[in-house]
């Protein structure tokens, strides 16, 4: 295919982007361009490219071959070289030639990866490790044999292709220099040039070497021996002037304060937190690095954990936590999802005490690793998921700290957690930081770094009280420190003129980054020749007037001096963001990635270790200010077009990481002017944030979705307005929530929509119900029903009928409840068939069925209730574990009423197991109380008491008043059965007070009856006490008798059978047996009604034998 044909095909493909999609077009074009570059011989044409050249050589290979048996020698050498070549390829390099006892490889010959120097160094270190392993294996068979290699790397321009070896040719001085570096390296070491070091500075620990004189070079060569990976390599290449190491100046006090906070954590064995606030460029990053160096903290997962936020983090719920956990557990960004999930659970579970696997999975779900198909997690409400995950992660980190404190680390005895750039972090991650930063008896040092704007964005302190060991605000360097830094920066320039010193000090205003950028600008302008040491002034005079007076001006001057292709590439990268990817850059402009080597060499961008996407290399701008300045100079048409291309690039990858990049894609679509796609992605991001209880993110996405011009659907807008109100209410922002509700109601009126009005009525109805205003709740429910049914609005109709049914149940009007449930269920099914954007909701039918079952239970229609519960359980989706627990608890109650204590115990235990599985404390408390109740009915009083105490502990841990009352009631039952009447009396009084606070009259009266019975048992022959019992029983029965209308039909309509039985027993105990006769008659009448429901004689016998108040009614024996 000729060049013209290639061009025509590429143009045709460009025109088909809308049809084929961006990803498919980009892949096709890349392949065509690669093919177009081939010459007629089938080889690639010669091309000039910056690469990293690696030479590896086996030391004294001739001696090695002579020392080995003849039949083994070639294989031993071949095995080593084969392994070395595999390591080169695994790091993205290409072996050009085997040299007999070594190899020559290059990194950067193909593709768009531009952190090739890093990959080359990593390959070199891996080869040294492999050589050491090979040597050990040889010595096991031949103790006298020694095997070792040395390696060298240089980064520079070479000519690729052509020549005798065609595609495997690399020519140029850079190749010869790499070979010389290898030849001069010590045995078993890797030597790199200054040019290579400039591209990997900060990623590896190195030893600077004395100047190396090499034949053919006029100047001695600056080289480094690589020792290993740096402790903070994941933070990227260090900023600064290439090859210039400057001391930190003017920060001794701040560094000492941080070191003292660390020492306090070590000595007190308690959490201590230090916070550093500093404006951009003032030096917080350098302070962080110096702190870690002073503390001797290395890359060790048991002593140091680090993570940093980036400018898009606010759009990514729990993004900072994800980076922290991934860093700790070694979960690389390019791992496939299944492997990442497996590694997370395997890494986290050993640090957790109880239910380790589930709790680790909850952490994964929260940070976006998608364990969402697990029923146990689906059953959790967003708030419960977050708290479960927060508690689990905090527990794991505290366990890690304890391990460090017992010497399992490397001697520091403290776990250091360092979090940087928190002003960009999402609110959810910061909420976890606050929990982690609470005082706790574990040796943990937490260092937090941010800009002062953090206080404006998130006013609530991250650490308070005893745990807050230090808060440091970095200021610009003072008049004594700034000249010291200037002198250090100019150290390579002998006899630097005083005017140059003054320029750096005065114009920078004490900002170290500004000072460095001024010096960079002078180097770029050719004022200073820094190509070799020592530097020299290339001009006799310094035109101070030409030097911009602000940091922004300096950066713009540097940009203006760039070649056009590099400046254009930077602008494209700025459109992607402060962090960008080479393939995203190519999506904006095909040729842009070709400038990355030059931009990296200038220190304007930095390759980062790892990447959020497996098919892309990740980069970051040298400084956030640099990104802002570059973005500001991109003209609006280019911005919009670029954001559009980046948006499609992200959208094509959202399926891989939806929780992280939905909102990022939405923001790019919005800046591109594609409102429809922005709306779609913001709404999906809102839903994702809601599932993970990320309120701040949910609210932000809601606001952005509402702002989209493409939002033309009235119901979709209304749903977003409702979501905004619900989110603000969940956040406790009462006044803002009220304003959002007002806006919701105003919109319903503005569009004159009764379906929306009904939804507003329902919102107000639920608020009235929570406030205890039953009259208002009922009025609003009836109004909502009228409006919703007339407007065919299934959601509000189902909810309003459910409310009316529940209110009817509470007042004992069960016939009315049944009518509303019969009308509500069809509406609930219609609501389930609609999408959320159309006003739909899937869960109303389950709620309505639960109300119906409760009505049957209150009416003592246990056999009918058991059938209803079983139908509901059979129709319930497997993932609905929360609803299943509720239904199993109801089933246990129905089976007790039916007298089948074995089935009741089975249902109660199943509910307890599920409640444990889904980690919902309230349900665990309810289930424990229910199991305790069945044990009590079976006569196992000790077990009843034990479980009741456990249930009370659980209920109190989450301030669950109804659960506390239920658990204490079981304790009272156990005490009564054990004859501990004083204890029972006190416990029943507590239960009655709790139910009075909760305004649950039936349970309150039952508890009061229990207390009266216990008191009567204590009274004995005391006449006054017995008379007091009679008075208390009469007062109870008077309250239970209701008004005259009720009394005409049924005696004591508000009294449960349990109350009647206890009252009768109390009267008998107090010597008033004749007064108990009416109560016994009413009990027997109700027993007959109950037995009439039983299907056969066996069932009737079970009811009488199993239920204490029915047994008492039948036999008169308590």
Q: E strands within 101-222?
A: 102-107, 149-160, 170-171, 190-193, 204-208
pLDDT at residue 553, rounded to an integer? 63
Q: 143 or 215: which carries more pLDDT confidence?
A: 143
Is residue 448 a contact partner of residue 436, using CB atoms and an 8 Å limit?
Answer: no
Instruction: Give 229-283 as a DSSP string.
Output: E-TTGGG-SPPSSTT------S-HHHHHHHHHHHHHHHHHTS-EEEEEE--TTSS
Is residue 676 a contact partner of residue 710, using CB atoms and an 8 Å limit?
Answer: yes
Q: 89 or 984: which carries more pLDDT confidence?
A: 984
593 pLDDT tier (thresholds 50, 70, 90): very high
How far is Cα 121 from Cα 228, in angstroms, rounded to an integer?
9
What token pair was written down for 338?
């299944």
* Domains defined for the chain, CATH in brackets: 3-36 (no CATH), 48-230 (3.30.70.1230), 252-473 (3.40.50.300), 714-855 (1.25.40.10), 979-1115 (no CATH)
Share of the chain above pLDDT 70, in %: 88
pLDDT in tens, 407-454: 544 445 899 999 999 998 998 999 999 999 988 899 999 999 998 888
pLDDT at residue 1064, rounded to an integer? 93
pLDDT in tens, 771-780: 778 899 999 9
Flag whether pLDDT at 10 surpasses 70: no
pLDDT at residue 724, rounded to an integer? 95
What token pair was written down for 841?
């909701």
pLDDT at residue 153, rounded to an integer? 95
Lowest mean pLDDT among 189-193, 232-236, 477-481, 487-491: 232-236
What is the Cβ-side half-sphere exposure of residue 1040, based on CA atoms within 13 angstroms? 26
pLDDT in tens, 611-627: 777 678 889 887 777 88
pLDDT at residue 236, rounded to an integer? 46
Radius of gyration of the chain (CA): 38
pLDDT in tens, 904-925: 999 999 999 988 887 788 899 9
Q: 6 or 250: which carries more pLDDT confidence?
A: 250
Average the pLDDT over 85-111 and give the result. Answer: 83
Residue pointed to by tokens 């670029």: 642
What token pair was written down for 552?
């922004």
**334-343, 470-479, 828-837 — most confident range:** 828-837
What is the torsional sign of CA 637, 640, 646, 652?
negative
What is the Cβ-side half-sphere exposure of residue 404, based on CA atoms within 13 angstroms? 28
How far is Cα 312 from Cα 650, in angstroms, rounded to an integer?
13
Per the rule left: phi > 0, alpha: psi between -120 and 50, beta: everything else, 370 is left
Flag whether pLDDT at 190 surpasses 50: yes
Q: Is 724 helix (H, G, I), strand (E, B) or coil?
A: helix
pTM for the model: 0.64
User: Minimal CA–CA distance to 1003: which of 805, 766, 810?
Assistant: 810
**162-166, 865-869, 1114-1118 — most confident range:** 865-869
pLDDT in tens, 1075-1108: 999 999 999 999 999 999 999 999 999 999 999 9
How far is Cα 786 from Cα 224, in angstroms, rounded to an integer?
82
pLDDT at residue 945, rounded to an integer? 95
Average the pLDDT over 456-475 and give the result. Answer: 88
**368-377, 546-555, 1014-1023, 1063-1072 — most confident range:** 1063-1072
What token pair was written down for 925?
């408390």
Flag whether pLDDT at 293 surpasses 90: no
Flag whether pLDDT at 499 surpasses 50: yes
Is residue 802 a contact partner of residue 844, using CB atoms and an 8 Å limit?
Answer: yes
pLDDT in tens, 684-707: 999 988 888 788 889 999 999 999
pLDDT at residue 723, rounded to an integer? 94
pLDDT in tens, 514-530: 888 788 778 877 788 88
pLDDT at residue 14, rounded to an integer? 55
What token pair was written down for 288?
């962080």
How far is Cα 577 from Cα 417, in angstroms, rounded to an integer?
27
In angstroms, the Cα distances linking 323 to 368, 447, 563, 812 are 11, 16, 36, 55
What is the torsional sign of CA 595, 599, 604, 609?
positive
Average the pLDDT over 277-306 and give the result. Answer: 83
Is residue 579 a contact partner of residue 593, using CB atoms and an 8 Å limit?
Answer: no
Q: Following CA atoms 344, 347, 352, 357 in sequence, which dihedral angle do they give, to the nearest 10 degrees?
A: 50
Which residues contact residue 1110 at a Cβ distance below 8 angstroms, ignoring those fewer than 6 apart?
Answer: 1057, 1087, 1090, 1103, 1104
How far is Cα 1007 from Cα 1009, in angstroms, rounded to an integer?
5
Instruction: Give 373-436 as a DSSP string.
Output: T-HHHHTS-HHHHHHHHHHHHHHHHHHHHHHHHTTSSSS---EEEEEE-GGGS-HHHHHHHHHH
User: Minimal CA–CA distance to 1059: which of 994, 1108, 993?
Assistant: 1108
Is residue 447 a contact partner of residue 418, using CB atoms and an 8 Å limit?
Answer: yes
Flag whether pLDDT at 144 surpasses 80: no
Flag whether pLDDT at 114 surpasses 50: no
Query: Average pLDDT of the chain?
Result: 85
- Tell me how many degrees the CA angle 738-659-759 measures, rounded to the nearest 5: 30
Q: 3-state secondary structure string, 299-355? A: CCCCCEEEEECCCCHHHCCCHHHHHHHHHHHCCCCCCCHHHHHHHHHHHHHHHCCCC
Give the chain's length.
1118
Which helix or strand (DSSP H or E) is residue 89 part of? Answer: helix 73-90
pLDDT in tens, 717-730: 999 999 999 889 87
What token pair was written down for 711?
């939002």
């Amino acid at each position: 295919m000729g060049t013209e044909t290639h061009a025509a095909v590429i143009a045709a493909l460009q025109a088909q982007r809308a049809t084929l999609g961006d990803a498919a077009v980009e892949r096709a074009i890349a392949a065509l361009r690669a093919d177009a570059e081939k010459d007629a011989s089938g080889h690639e044409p010669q091309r000039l490219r910056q690469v990293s050249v690696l030479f590896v050589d086996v030391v004294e290979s001739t001696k090695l071959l002579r020392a080995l048996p003849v039949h083994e020698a070639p294989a031993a050498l071949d095995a080593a070289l084969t392994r070395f070549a595999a390591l080169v390829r695994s790091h993205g390099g290409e072996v050009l030639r085997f040299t007999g006892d070594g190899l020559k490889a290059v990194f950067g010959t193909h593709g768009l990866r531009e952190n090739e120097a890093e990959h080359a160094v990593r390959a070199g270190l891996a080869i040294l490790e492999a050589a050491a392993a090979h040597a050990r294996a040889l010595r096991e068979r031949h103790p006298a044999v020694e095997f070792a290699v040395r390696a060298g790397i240089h980064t520079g321009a070479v000519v690729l292709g052509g020549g005798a070896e065609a595609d495997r040719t690399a020519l140029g001085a850079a190749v010869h220099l790499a070979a010389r570096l290898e030849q001069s390296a010590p045995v078993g070491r890797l030597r790199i040039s200054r040019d290579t070091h400039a591209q990997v500075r900060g990623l590896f620990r190195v030893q600077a070497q004395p100047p190396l004189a090499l034949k053919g070079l006029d100047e001695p060569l600056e080289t480094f021996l690589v020792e290993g990976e740096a402790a903070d390599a994941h933070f990227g290449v260090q900023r600064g002037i290439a090859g210039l190491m400057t001391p930190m100046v003017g920060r001794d006090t701040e560094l000492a304060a941080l070191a003292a906070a660390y020492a306090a954590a070590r000595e007190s064995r308690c959490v201590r937190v230090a916070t550093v606030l500093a404006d951009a460029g003032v030096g917080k990053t350098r302070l962080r690095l110096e702190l870690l160096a002073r503390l001797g903290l290395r890359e060790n997962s048991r002593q140091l954990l680090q993570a940093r936020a980036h400018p898009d983090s606010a759009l990514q719920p729990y993004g900072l936590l994800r980076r922290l956990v991934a860093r700790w557990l070694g979960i690389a960004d390019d791992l496939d999802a299944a492997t990442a999930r497996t590694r997370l659970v395997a890494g986290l579970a050993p640090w957790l005490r109880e239910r380790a696997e589930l709790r680790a999975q909850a952490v994964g779900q929260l940070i976006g690793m998608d364990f969402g198909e697990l029923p146990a997690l689906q059953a959790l409400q967003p708030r419960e998921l977050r708290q479960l995950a927060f508690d689990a992660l905090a527990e794991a980190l505290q366990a890690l700290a304890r391990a460090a404190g017992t010497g399992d680390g490397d001697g520091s005895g403290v776990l250091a957690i360092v979090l940087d750039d928190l002003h960009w972090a999402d609110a959810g991650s910061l909420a976890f930081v606050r929990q982690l930063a609470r005082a706790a008896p574990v040796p943990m040092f937490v260092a937090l770094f941010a800009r002062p704007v953090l206080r404006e964005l998130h006013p609530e302190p991250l650490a308070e009280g005893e745990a807050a060991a230090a808060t440091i605000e970095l200021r610009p360097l003072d008049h004594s420190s700034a000249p010291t830094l200037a002198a250090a920066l100019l150290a390579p320039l002998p006899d630097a003129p005083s005017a140059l010193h003054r320029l750096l000090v005065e114009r920078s205003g004490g900002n170290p980054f500004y000072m460095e950028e001024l010096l960079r600008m002078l180097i770029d302008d050719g004022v200073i020749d820094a190509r070799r040491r020592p530097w020299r002034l290339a001009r006799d005079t310094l035109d101070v007037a030409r030097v911009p007076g602000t940091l922004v001006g300096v950066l713009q001057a540097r940009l203006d001096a760039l070649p056009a292709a590099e400046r254009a590439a930077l602008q494209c990268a700025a459109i992607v963001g402060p962090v960008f990817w080479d393939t995203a850059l190519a999506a904006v402009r095909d040729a842009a990635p070709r400038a990355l080597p030059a931009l990296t060499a200038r220190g304007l961008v930095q390759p980062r270790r790892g990447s959020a996407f497996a098919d892309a290399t990740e980069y970051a701008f040298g400084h956030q200010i640099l990104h802002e300045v570059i973005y500001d100079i991109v003209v609006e048409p280019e911005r919009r077009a670029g954001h559009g291309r980046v948006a499609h690039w992200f959208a094509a990858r959202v399926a891989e990481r939806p929780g992280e990049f939905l909102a990022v894609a939405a923001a790019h679509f919005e800046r591109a002017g594609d409102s429809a796609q922005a709306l779609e992605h913001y709404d999906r991001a809102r839903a994702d944030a809601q599932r993970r209880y990320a309120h701040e993110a949910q609210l932000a996405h809601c606001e952005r979705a509402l702002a989209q011009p493409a939002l033309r659907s009235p119901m979709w807008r209304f749903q977003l307005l409702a979501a905004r109100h619900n989110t603000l209410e969940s956040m406790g922002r009462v006044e803002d929530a009220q304003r959002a509700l007002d806006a919701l109601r105003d919109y319903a009126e503005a569009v004159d929509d009764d379906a929306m009005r009904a939804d507003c009525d329902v919102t107000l109805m639920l608020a009235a119900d929570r406030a205890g205003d039953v009259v208002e709740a009922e009025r609003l429910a009836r109004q909502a029903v009228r409006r919703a049914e007339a407007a065919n609005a299934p959601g509000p109709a189902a909810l309003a009928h459910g409310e009316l049914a529940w209110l009817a149940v509470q007042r004992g009007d069960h016939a009315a409840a049944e009518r509303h449930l019969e009308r509500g269920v069809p509406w609930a099914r219609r609501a389930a068939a609609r999408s959320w954007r159309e006003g739909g909701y899937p869960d109303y039918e389950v709620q309505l069925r639960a109300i119906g079952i409760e009505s049957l239970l209150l009416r003592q229609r246990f056999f009918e209730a058991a059938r209803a519960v079983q139908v509901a359980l059979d129709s319930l989706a497997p993932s609905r574990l929360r609803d299943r627990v509720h239904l199993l608890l109801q089933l246990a109650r129905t089976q007790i009423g039916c007298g089948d204590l074995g089935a009741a115990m089975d249902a109660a235990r199943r509910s307890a197991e599920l409640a444990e599985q889904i980690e919902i404390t309230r349900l665990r408390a309810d289930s424990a109380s229910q199991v305790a109740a069945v044990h009590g009915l079976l006569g196992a009083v000790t077990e009843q008491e034990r479980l009741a105490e456990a249930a009370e502990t659980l209920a109190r841990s989450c301030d669950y008043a109804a659960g506390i009352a239920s658990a204490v009631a079981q304790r009272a039952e156990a005490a009564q059965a054990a004859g501990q009447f004083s204890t029972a009396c006190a416990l029943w009084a507590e239960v009655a007070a709790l139910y009075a606070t909760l305004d649950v009259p039936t349970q309150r009266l039952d508890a009061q009856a229990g207390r009266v019975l216990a008191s009567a048992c204590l009274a004995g022959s005391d006449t006054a006490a017995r008379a007091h019992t009679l008075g208390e029983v009469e007062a109870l029965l008077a309250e239970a008798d209701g008004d005259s209308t009720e009394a005409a039909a049924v005696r004591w309509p508000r009294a449960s059978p349990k109350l009647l039985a206890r009252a009768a027993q109390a009267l008998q105990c107090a010597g008033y047996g004749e007064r108990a006769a009416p109560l016994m008659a009413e009990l027997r009448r109700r027993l007959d009604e109950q037995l009439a429901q039983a299907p056969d004689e066996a069932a009737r016998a079970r009811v009488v034998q199993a239920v204490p108040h029915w047994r008492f009614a039948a036999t008169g024996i308590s």
